Structure 1
Amino acid sequence: MSETVDFLNHLTSTKCYAYLDNIYKYHGNEGKCEKLKNDFQRYPQIYDFCMSLTGNLDNFNKLKSDGLFDDDRCRYLNFWIYDRLIGMGLDRTSIGSPSIIGKIIDLFTDFKMYEKKCNYDFYLIDRKDYTKMRKLYNYIMDYGIIKYYANGENNYECNTKNVEYIKDGINAYNDIKRDCAQNNQKYYCFAMRDFEKLNNMDDLLKLQCKKIKSEFPSEVARADHLRQGQHAFQGAYDSAGSHVKGSQMELETPDSHSLSTFEIVMSLFFPFLGLLVIFFILYKFTPFGSWLDSNVLRKKKISHNLYEDDEPAEDILDKTYSHMNTPYQSKLHQVGYNSIWNTS
């Protein structure tokens, strides 16, 4: 099935509205429509609408019927009228609405539609309720074609708009049923009753697409590329020997351990080597070297020499204290001297 095929382009309801536009357009009443055109000059489409309407009224019994429920010709004719008035900017809230509604009622009377048991009464319905009704009746009319495609005939795949169209029809019924449960005097409750008379009502409420394709394949492709990139990054990360603790999805191997050890050694060795190079440069080519040599290394050398000559130092101490213990006649002039205390 070609990707350009969309069941929304083949709906029975769409064809029905086009049918009512054109089938008896050239059998309309020109005199009545010229007068209507002059009365409503603000609406240039009013003449064509009138020609189609009067042609349909005059040939009402020849209009197609799908036989789904009683007086379906009249139902769909009313839907068509309401839809075309909205298209011209005329609904219950517009300024010209009362006048045009009166003219349409007159046309129904002129063509004795009361004898054909068809009245123009959709003007009693507000636009919100009309929208619900139209969705429901369109769904009923379109069920055959929707079911064909929704079941995946010819490998058809529903797009997101197809899915929404089906949901809108089902939701319209549920909304109308809920409203009419609270107030069954609302005029549009006949839509619920028509629907519930259908033999296949349960099938209509359960219809779903068996195959659904993405509306935005490019987005899916980008998501796939992103996932592939994440997998590639994860693979490179794992091959370097990095493992997340507690993960049961990765298996450790001897190679991964050896790579991890190597990485750890390198990560310690290179910073240490860098520190040595920096220290060497500072020592050789900056005042830091002179300061270090005169203040730190010199003291270290002196301390080293002292500890290497322990025995002479002990002898000196012994001689010093021995000298101090020798009796002298004149104690005021005796001095004990030790060069160690003066080396600082």
Structure 2
Amino acid sequence: MGFTLSDLTSYQAYNIFNSENNVGSCNTSCDKTTPPYTKNTNIYKICCSLKNKLAIINGILPSNDDKKKYCKYLYYWIHEEVIKLTDADQNGKYHEFVSYLLNEWSNVVKYYSTDAEIFKPDLNVMSKDSIIKRKNMFDYYNIYDILKDSIETYNSCSNYHGYLKTIIEPYEEFIGLCSSKSIDCSDFFNPIKEQHHPKYLLGLMPCKLLDPTTKNALSHDIVPEVEMDNPMPGSSHPSEHPYTNRSIVVILPLVGTIFLFSFLYKFTPFGLWLHKVILNKLKINGNIDNKSEHNISEDATQSVHINSKNSQYNIAFQTL
């Protein structure tokens, strides 16, 4: 099963906050007769529920770190609820409503003896554009170690690959916003913005194997030796033997020259002229050979005749 929204801490926290939104009575300092509650009754309901939400966070979460984490999600939740209640033409009301609710949160901590060090709210109102981006980054920050340990321990990335791919663009955008100081990132993001980049997790081998681009690159880089020596039929791989390539370069022009010469000899006037030249050369060579044979024969006859005479003289000389 793949990674889902239910695995995010924000999903679990928002479930708690949404279930506690309907309260029977309001026993805090929220006053429905004063603005902004007279402008929107739903804002009054949210205000009345803040005390219960903080009490639940304090009661069900064991560690102070988890309590601080859920308080941060409550801060995001308040912004998102007000966004739902105000349209694009009510930016002024958006800021006003969020500010009232955060101040009421501060009053709860102050008047109801809640640990201020853990539960004190951030009173800065964030813009509509940046609040969801910040929440998504905070989600990723909280789940990063879980993702990393799971990928390395189980040598599997299939559950998280899609989520990591979708978080790259907003992560890099958030880095830009923090670097330009368009938003304050000192609370959690600045210390980890380089080390926790999703590309690092996607660079781990189990995740790389799920990336088609990386798989193709690996298949080209790692080629079995047997496949190189004995290519598959129909393979288009170029020859790896340089001597074969050189032989082809030498033989092809030679064959072409022979073919062209044969064509010229048989089917063009040049061939007829060349044929006559060759025949004349052969006749001349034949005459020279015959004359040479005749001269050799005459020389041999004369040699025999001379030798015969010499023999007669030798016999006569010996008789004397």
Normalising by structure 2, report the TM-score: 0.49
Normalising by structure 1, report the TM-score: 0.47
